[in-house]
Amino acid sequence: PFINLDYMVYMFKYDSVHRRFEGDVSAKDGKLYIKGKGITVYAEKDPANIPWKEAGAEYIVESTGVFTTIEKAAAHLKGGAKKVIISAPSADAPMFVCGVNLDAYDPKYTVISNASCTTNCLAPLAKVVNDKFGIVEGLMSTIHATTATQKTVDGPSAKDWRGGRAVNNNIIPSSTGAAKAVGKVIPSLNGKLTGLAFRVPTLDVSVVDLVVRLEKPTTYDAIKGALREASQSPELKDIIAYTEDAVVSTDFVG
């Protein structure tokens, strides 16, 4: 790994999206300090070599995008971790989305997936609409901000030719597994949704557009009302927000 402590300090202080961090950031005695709080840092390619127990870390967020199966992510357990949460879709780990299916969580699980950012946007929306009106079938489109795997100039991309095109001046069609993933967290929607993605040259904030055929007759205002009501419910008030303001994407940068 090429990210040393001094580089971590720099990256935390200066960010092209979230701008400059105003608090104190420094490195000392092998630790990263943010606002005076020390953070133990390890640099290991194999998660099994990280002594989590020694650091007092019990719950690990696996966000490298590399160790996304139960077997690979479970390597963290060898160092003393108790639970691992994969911050990406997984081929075999149980998948959970807040506000959607946390009631299905079993404490026996040691490795789980929190799905993708797109699934975390789509699933609560689909749940509200499905619970209220019933979804027969649907198409999801996401207009997705640039990601780190994309290229600044045209380059080779064997598996996805479009994905090798320059990101700064293109709208790039891409695939997404978010619609299928919804079927994993909402079994009643399994096989009912499909989706596609468009990568666009923005740094942050993405959009999901969901078009559905419903079981029950309804109106546009009734659908909006259901979402507004859900955004105020105890289960979803911290997950869904509702606005009719004339906002644009940068208004949602956290």
pLDDT in tens, 124-178: 999 999 999 999 999 999 999 999 999 999 999 999 999 999 999 999 999 998 9
- Domain boundary (89, 115, 141) is at 115
Contact 69, 92 (CB under 8 A): yes
User: Do 95 and 185 fall into the same domain?
Assistant: no
User: Do 173 and 240 fall into the same domain?
Assistant: yes
What average pLDDT is seen over the chain?
A: 96
For the domain that residue 92 is a member of, what is the CATH number? 3.40.50.720
Residue 190 confidence class, pLDDT cut points 50, 70, 90? very high
Query: C-alpha distances in angstroms, 27 versus 38, 88, 239?
Result: 9, 30, 35
- Domain boundary (87, 115, 143) is at 115
What does the pLDDT average to over 188-211? 97
User: Do 60 and 132 fall into the same domain?
Assistant: no
Rounded distance between C-alpha atoms, residue 105 and residue 118, angstroms? 21
Q: Among this protein's residues, is 121 annotated catalytic?
A: no
Name the residue with tokens 């749940």. Answer: 127
- The domain in which residue 193 lies consists of 117-252
What does the pLDDT average to over 204-209? 98
User: Do 83 and 70 fall into the same domain?
Assistant: yes
User: Do 174 and 238 fall into the same domain?
Assistant: yes
User: Do 56 and 157 fall into the same domain?
Assistant: no
What does the pLDDT average to over 114-129? 97
User: Do 153 and 233 fall into the same domain?
Assistant: yes
User: Do 153 and 229 fall into the same domain?
Assistant: yes
User: Do 247 and 121 fall into the same domain?
Assistant: yes
Rounded distance between C-alpha atoms, residue 181 and residue 93, angstroms? 12
- Indicate if the pLDDT at residue 192 is higher than 90: yes
Report the pLDDT value the prediction gives residue 254, as an integer from 0 to 100.
86
How far out from the chain centre does Cα 8 lie?
22
- Domain boundary (96, 115, 134) is at 115
Q: What's the pLDDT tens digit per position in 7-53? A: 999 999 999 999 999 999 999 999 999 999 999 999 999 999 999 99
User: Do 132 and 109 fall into the same domain?
Assistant: no
Among 55, 77, 98, 117, the one annotated catalytic: 117
Give the CA angle between residues 192, 193, 196 to the nearest 5°. 155
Report the pLDDT value the prediction gives residue 2, as an integer from 0 to 100.
74
For the domain that residue 185 is a member of, what is the CATH number? 3.30.360.10
Rounded distance between C-alpha atoms, residue 162 and residue 91, angstroms? 24
What does the pLDDT average to over 94-116? 97
Report the pLDDT value the prediction gives residue 1, as an integer from 0 to 100.
58
User: Do 79 and 194 fall into the same domain?
Assistant: no
Please tell me the total count of domains within the chain: 3
User: Do 238 and 126 fall into the same domain?
Assistant: yes
- Indicate if the pLDDT at residue 88 is higher than 70: yes
Nearest to 96 by CA among 83, 109, 105, 84: 105
Kindly give the residue spans of alpha helices, DSSP state H, lying in the chain: 5-13, 52-55, 70-73, 117-133, 178-185, 220-231
What does the pLDDT average to over 238-242? 97
